[in-house]
Copies of this chain bind each other. A is one copy, B any other.
Amino acid sequence: MRDFSADHSALALNTASLGHNLDGYGAGWPPERVIDACAARGFGSIVFWRREIGTRAAKIGERVRAAGLSVAGLCRTPFLVGGEATDRQAVMDGAKASVDMAAALGAPVLTIVVGGVHPGTKGTAASLKILADRVAELAPYAQACGVRLALEPLHPVYAGNRSCLTTLRDAVDLCEKVGAPNLGIAVDVYHVWWDSDLETQLRRAGPGRLFGYHLCDWLADTTDVLLDRGMMGDGVADLKAIRAAVEGAGYAGPCEVEIFSAGNWWKRDPNEVLDVIVERFRTLC
């Protein structure tokens, strides 16, 4: 297991930790300011959201690298299945446009949050089939662009309307079904911390399928399952044990801090948030 106490170059900032994933939240720093603040604190990389990038993907990517950092990834494709994804052509066009943006940014990984139960179906099985069909079309396109696709299983609380893909087990199944070399998985402690099957499924995935590891914490008395994630150490997830399992399965990539926190961290000065992230990462993760 890597020792981050003296070297936190594996630390990546997901800009959602500053509220940059949603309109109306956060301090609204432009990407350049985020880049400089991360570089000053020894972060190794940054993950942006599409809404921050707009038409400046290449320029922002260059700016990151000029600051001595790398772009670890881009969040995320539009939903591929579910109520917002009924027009297949529009879905594929939107997904391919997000691949293009990742390529222009120089992001090696594009995250996929898949979408919920498809209209007219019940349960998750039918939706997962539709998803597999669409991912199978997207993967070769992304491969040609030099982009890897990371399926992110979300916590089962989102199964209805955000992610019919809820467990690492289902994500590995989907990877095996589609069989594309650039298709893998992002593991987020918020979504998987409760899962006693995690270590087994991480080993099933292996280093060839593990494309990302996301950090935050699950607050025991969470008030909002979308926007009340905890800072590492403030919740009940066993962060050390999860990272041991992730690294035991062969993962050696960035550790991306992604904290949706409308009522707490998004209200603070981003400088404070970044300082706390570094401290917690070095001591508790």
This chain: how many copies in the complex?
A: 2
**A160 CB contact (under 8 Å) in B117, B122, B166, B236:** B236
Assess the B161–A221 pair: CB atoms within 8 A: yes
**A225 CB contact (under 8 Å) in B173, B225, B237, B242:** B225
**A169 CB contact (under 8 Å) in B117, B196, B238:** B196
Assess the A157–B156 pair: CB atoms within 8 A: yes
Assess the B196–A124 pair: CB atoms within 8 A: yes
Nearest CB of B to A267, in Å: 22
User: Are A123 and B238 also in contact (CB < 8 A) when A83-B220, A169-B197, A170-B196 are?
Assistant: yes
User: Are A123 and B160 also in contact (CB < 8 A) when A116-B220, A117-B220, A117-B236 are?
Assistant: no
* A49 at the binding interface (Cβ < 8 Å): no
- Determine chain A's interface SS by DSSP, over half rule: loop
* A90 at the binding interface (Cβ < 8 Å): no
B contact residues around A220 at 8 Å (CB):
83, 116-117, 160-161
* A219 at the binding interface (Cβ < 8 Å): yes
* A125 at the binding interface (Cβ < 8 Å): yes
**A122 CB contact (under 8 Å) in B123, B169, B170, B241:** B241
Interface string of A197-222 (1 = CB under 8 A from B): 10000000000000000000011111
Assess the B241–A160 pair: CB atoms within 8 A: no
B contact residues around A193 at 8 Å (CB):
123, 159
Nearest CB of B to A35, in Å: 33
Assess the B225–A157 pair: CB atoms within 8 A: yes
* A31 at the binding interface (Cβ < 8 Å): no
B contact residues around A83 at 8 Å (CB):
220
Assess the B222–A160 pair: CB atoms within 8 A: yes
B contact residues around A235 at 8 Å (CB):
160
B contact residues around A29 at 8 Å (CB):
none
* A243 at the binding interface (Cβ < 8 Å): no
Inter-chain CA distance A195–B169, complex, in Å, is 10
Assess the B122–A237 pair: CB atoms within 8 A: yes
Nearest CB of B to A39, in Å: 32
* A167 at the binding interface (Cβ < 8 Å): yes
Chain A residues in the interface with B (C-beta under 8 A): 83, 116-117, 121-125, 128, 155-157, 159-161, 166-167, 169-170, 173, 193-197, 218-222, 225, 235-239, 241-242
CB-based closest 3 A-B pairs: A123-B238, A160-B220, A122-B238
Q: List 18 A-B contacts (CB under 8 A).
A: A122-B237, A122-B239, A123-B236, A123-B237, A124-B196, A125-B238, A156-B195, A157-B225, A159-B193, A159-B218, A159-B236, A160-B221, A160-B235, A161-B220, A166-B195, A169-B197, A170-B196, A225-B225
